[in-house]
Structure 1
């Protein structure tokens, strides 16, 4: 029974957030497209690990300064590879789907891909947490999992702008990668630096980034829902 409870605790935050964002779309996406995007988000863990494990083994022993090591782990071994592959899912699968036909779709698919990755990552952390798995599950349900969701929303917003504003496509795709990567990297840097330097004040940087991600993503969601409401009102009139 315990393993089932652990699995449920690990997956519930990602699935709850997924339902929240998918149902917030006034023009719902096909279930097949949502499931496909979610499982592609799960699948990108393989190429991410294939890059991160040998890269980490190569560079970590060469870095002695704790803040430099925190930066390498946060950006080179986490934020950059993870956000690159999430963006690949959006550009190579979601954006090409016939259901990708209005701006909210970018946000929904971005969240879905990110939560696929977050669900697997969270499962691995919780199952590997030993006797402290409950604490890990609670902390990550309030931090890392929603953080992934918000970063996916931000990325998806810019991908949608690239799709529907072709003249600005290059700039928007660049923003779709750079903005989430910067927020993700700074969040991880704060948490890792607090551990490596034994200076808990670095955690404040991570918490600040998480708050920025939350406010930014929810504002984008409200903006896109207002746009959808306007379209519905125009169609009804």
Structure 2
């Protein structure tokens, strides 16, 4: 039972958090299969590799220093942030390389990074809740650590790794060769720094006061990131309004369909009709077309943007005909 509870408290909240991240990506949903793959990468590959390397390097540090304190500080504040963010970031980088067409915006980068990190957090939380919670404090310790890991610091890993997604997405939308190399490195550096800062604060600010100060600092950072995400959602809405206006002028979609596609809330209407799948595909194609038109303007005909736009316009016109009266 304790192990089952630890797995439940470790994985279920992080899965729900990932569902919320998916919901936030209102206009151009990322493929669920791809999101499931990066979640599993975080939970299995990144978490497993980090555990092995953190443990091995920690043993090496202890053999050199013969100091538990030096080992704890160095692995927690220096080693773990570098290893964990590198392996989580590798999943986002693979999406960037192998599924380039799905990496269209800053928001996309945040989504892939956050979902990867939530997979990592699920495994890490389950491990800590059982080993440091139940084994050291019984069921009281299990529930206490579950509260800390889920409620107080539940968004810490998505926050750190989001900087990697932002860096890669910014590089994706930049034509300057130097910046296309520098921006992902800056994103990785920011993720490692924020991770190391949290770990160092948690290491030295102990007790209830220390927990309160560290949690407050974490929540301030998360709220700033949430504000940035809301701004990115607004920017994406503005992009749709600008780019889809031409589709109305060309007669590809109707004015009603345009307003529905550009609405944050109306898009949920597709969930409650028999035409749900077709309506959701209509919205998806509207968003993909808007991004590809924007990329054609900013980046040129990279990866065949012109041909992709033509194909999306043809599909959109067919969907539009079958969805007359969509509002």
TM-score range for the pair, normalised by the shorter chain length: 0.7 to 0.9
User: Residue 90 of structure 2 aligns with which residue?
Assistant: 88
* Deviation by residue 1:98-145 (Cα, 9 ceiling, x = unmatched): 322222110100101111110111111123221111111111112333
Q: Aligned with 2:165: secondary structure?
A: helix
Could you tell me which runs of 5 or more consecutive residues in structure 1 were left unpaired when the two chains were aligned: none
User: Residue 118 of structure 1 aligns with which residue?
Assistant: 121
User: Residue 221 of structure 1 aligns with which residue?
Assistant: 229
Deviation at 1:63, TM superposition (A): 6.6
Higher Rg of the two aligned structures: 2
Q: 2 CA distance for matches of 1:69 and 1:201?
A: 24
1:153-164 → structure 2 map (5 Å cutoff): 153-164=162-173
Question: Is contact 1:103-1:224 (8 Å) kept?
Answer: yes
Name the Cα RMSD after superposition.
2.4
Deviation at 1:30, TM superposition (A): 0.6
Question: Is contact 1:106-1:159 (8 Å) kept?
Answer: yes
Aligned length: 233
Alpha-carbon distance change, 33 to 74 in structure 1, aligned in 2, over 3 angstroms = same
User: Residue 38 of structure 2 aligns with which residue?
Assistant: 37
Question: TM-score by structure 1 length?
Answer: 0.87
Could you tell me which runs of 5 or more consecutive residues in structure 2 were left unpaired when the two chains were aligned: 246-327
Q: 1 CA distance for matches of 2:175 and 2:212?
A: 38
User: Residue 60 of structure 2 aligns with which residue?
Assistant: 58
Match of 1:178 among 177, 189, 200: 189
Alpha-carbon distance change, 71 to 213 in structure 1, aligned in 2, over 3 angstroms = farther
Deviation at 1:189, TM superposition (A): 0.9
Question: TM-score by structure 2 length?
Answer: 0.65
User: Residue 135 of structure 1 aligns with which residue?
Assistant: 144
* Deviation by residue 1:122-169 (Cα, 9 ceiling, x = unmatched): 111123221111111111112333111222223211221012114212
